[in-house]
Amino acid sequence: MADIILRKNEDKRIKKGHLWVFSNEISKVIGEPLNGDIVDVYDYQNNFIAKGFYNKHSLISVRIISKQKEFDLRELFEQRIISAYNFRKLIYPNRNSFRLVFSESDLLPGLIIDKYNDTYVLQVYSVGMERKIDIIIEILDKKLKAQNIFSKNDEYFRQLEGLSVEDKIYKGEMRQEIISDGEVNYKIDFKSAHKTGFYFDQCDNRLFVSKFCKDKDVLDCFCNAGGFGLNAAKQGAKSVTFVDSSKKEIENAEFNFKLNNFSCKSKFVEADVFDFLQNCLLTNEKYDVIIVDPPAFAKNKKSLPAAIKGYEKLNRLAMSVLNDNGILFSSSCSYHLKEEVFISIINNAANKLKKKAQLFYFNNASLDHPFLPSMEETVYLKFAGVRILN
Ligand code: SAH
């Protein structure tokens, strides 16, 4: 058992509920903890604060697990997974597919679990969690009756933690699933899909957007599996145009459209969204509802200025192909772009067109991606509903 002694004042953030100890906040390591060991964390006056997973290879040296000195890890994990599960069934009683565990937000540091029917897809981003993964697998298997369990990790986050870049099948096999978001069905091909297989974080926002789409011409930019446009079709859109630069994703969106037997006018366009919107400007093609949900333009702090320019151009182009009284739904999943800056980008875009942006809705990710008020790192998605006034 090793002890981590923090520098003076570096205990404050942790005592307020933040769950990471950064390497520069440690004054002393007593003992020789291995990566992934559970260590005790003390303030500079040697008062016990918490227990957490240690990792000397990461800037995040300790990921707090509990403020209790004594606990049984298996019991703790089980209680947290079942509590996370019960909450998801409370908010989505009719769904069998959702984000089951959202890492620190569900007090399971460095662990994401997305549930696709009886298939559970993991992302493991802490050494401590990786070393204890058998406990997690057993809980999913025994308590939640998982049929298939495998990981689909993002290289970048594994590397930050000094973890080998690999995916594993823990139970069953990696086969396709047909899931429902409560309204629309999607085919999930885990081998080719992004993330764990589906963007669950936009489910609530898709449903919200769909309320504005009846009898409207809808444009779903960066459509991926088609979530926004498909929900719009479900609610009676007049037409839906799907745009994505990936051939595979456009084919997938079209497959999902047919899978749901939708019959409104539809177009599936494989194109760069910037080029597509420029072209709409030239040909005077306009839409009543436009969704822009691009990939993260700012992967780190350094790329933020260029990303801001990109978001502004994108929002300006989208606004300029909106019909009068049209609505823009704009999103950013760049963690480094803060909410105020995102909103000011939308405002600047409208100003450049000599129009006024009226913000009538703001949200973050879906309810199955809760955040900890003590940890701003648990919030990344921004989503705005905007009317453009002349
Ligand atoms: N709106 C989607 C998620 C979008 S993910 C949903 O609700 O699930 C971002 C998508 O943007 C990816 O599918 C990617 O292929 C696509 N993409 C990235 N850059 C692009 C570009 N310049 N033009 C068009 N599509 C792009």
State which amino acid sits at residue 258.
K
Helix/strand/coil percentages in the chain, nearest 5: 35, 30, 35
DSSP code string of 272-331: -HHHHHHHHHHHT--EEEEEE-PPPS-SSGGGHHHHHHHHHHHHHHHHHTEEEEEEEEEE
275 lines ligand 1 (CB under 6 A): no
State which amino acid sits at residue 178.
I
What's the 252 CA to ligand 1 centre distance in angstroms?
A: 12
A 10 A CB-CB count for 213 gives 25
Instruction: Pick from 199, 204, 224, 380 the residue to mutate for probing ligand 1's pocket: most ligand atoms within 8 Å of its CB.
Output: 224
Q: Measured from the CA of 293, which atom of ligand 1 is nearest?
A: 1
Mutual angle of helices 203-210 and 227-234, in 10-degree steps: 40
Instruction: Pick from 198, 202, 230, 244 the residue to mutate for probing ligand 1's pocket: most ligand atoms within 8 Å of its CB.
Output: 244
224 lines ligand 1 (CB under 6 A): yes
> Closest by alpha carbon to 233, among 204, 261, 255, 205?
261
What's the 382 CA to ligand 1 centre distance in angstroms?
A: 16
What's the 293 CA to ligand 1 centre distance in angstroms?
A: 7
Mark out the alpha helices in 104-172 (DSSP H runs). Answer: 127-131, 133-142, 155-160
245 lines ligand 1 (CB under 6 A): yes
For 322-346, the pLDDT digits (tens) are 999 999 999 999 999 999 999 999 9
**Domain residue spans of the chain:** 3-66, 73-175, 179-389
State which amino acid sits at residue 357.
A
What's the 76 CA to ligand 1 centre distance in angstroms?
A: 38
> What are the pLDDT tens digits along the chain (390 aa)?
799 999 999 999 999 999 999 999 999 999 999 999 999 999 999 999 999 999 999 999 999 999 999 999 999 999 999 999 999 999 999 999 999 999 999 999 999 999 999 999 999 999 999 999 999 999 999 999 999 999 999 999 999 999 999 999 999 999 999 999 999 999 999 999 999 999 999 999 999 999 999 999 999 999 999 999 999 999 999 999 999 999 999 999 999 999 999 999 999 999 999 999 999 999 999 999 999 999 999 988 999 999 999 999 999 999 999 999 999 999 999 999 999 999 999 999 999 999 999 999 999 999 999 999 999 999 999 999 999 998
Instruction: Pick from 222, 257, 274, 276 the residue to mutate for probing ligand 1's pocket: most ligand atoms within 8 Å of its CB.
Output: 222
Burial class (CB in 10 A: 0-12, 13-18, 19+), 284: exposed
225 lines ligand 1 (CB under 6 A): yes
| Residues 6 or more apart whose Cβ sits within 8 Å of residue 218 | 228, 229, 232, 237, 238, 239, 240, 241, 287, 288, 289, 290, 291
273 lines ligand 1 (CB under 6 A): yes
Pairing of strands 119-124, 148-151: parallel
What's the 92 CA to ligand 1 centre distance in angstroms?
A: 26
Q: What is the pTM (predicted TM-score) of this model?
A: 0.97
CATH of domain 3-66: 2.30.130.10
State residue 342 phi and psi, 5-degree precision.
-60, -45
- Of the CATH numbers 1.10.10.60, 3.40.50.300, 3.40.30.10, 3.40.50.150, which one belongs to the domain with range 179-389? 3.40.50.150
Architecture category of domain 73-175 in CATH: 2-Layer Sandwich (3.30)
